[in-house]
């Protein structure tokens, strides 16, 4: 594997990389490699996001039914427009 040295990384970018590394529990180097893989379209494993986990399972059955009914109404195709 090739070793690359990066110089003069902008402070803002450094902070972003450090934050991502801390959030993912990875080293700075591994985080940079992951970011490069993603940018190059070489990410073999999909990223699993947890930013909305706190919302899962918070609706009551009544709220979920209301949401489903609203979606069903929006999904109807108007034949006069799309026929």
How distant, in Å, are the alpha carbons of 1, 7, 65, 75, 81 from that of 21? 21, 19, 40, 41, 50
1-36: per-residue pLDDT in tens? 889 999 999 999 999 999 999 999 999 999 999 999
Q: Is residue 59 included in any domain, yes or no?
A: no
What's the whole-model pTM score? 0.50
Range of the domain at 24: 9-45
Kindly state whether residue 14 falls inside one of the protein's structural domains. yes
Q: Identify whether 16 is part of a domain.
A: yes
Counted domains in the chain:
1
**Domain assignment present for 74:** no
Which of 18-22, 38-42, 69-73 shows the lowest per-residue confidence on average (mean pLDDT)? Answer: 38-42
Per the domain annotation, does 41 fall within a domain? Answer: yes
For 12, residues 6+ apart whose C-beta sits below 8 A from its C-beta are none
């Amino acid at each position: 594997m090739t070793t690359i040295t990066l110089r003069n990384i902008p402070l803002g970018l450094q902070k972003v990389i450090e934050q991502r590394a801390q959030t993912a529990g990875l080293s700075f180097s591994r985080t940079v490699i992951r970011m490069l893989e993603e940018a190059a379209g070489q990410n073999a494993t999909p990223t699993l996001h947890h930013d909305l986990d706190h919302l899962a399972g918070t609706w009551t059955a009544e709220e979920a039914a209301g949401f489903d009914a609203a979606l069903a109404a929006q999904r109807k195709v108007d034949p006069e427009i799309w026929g």
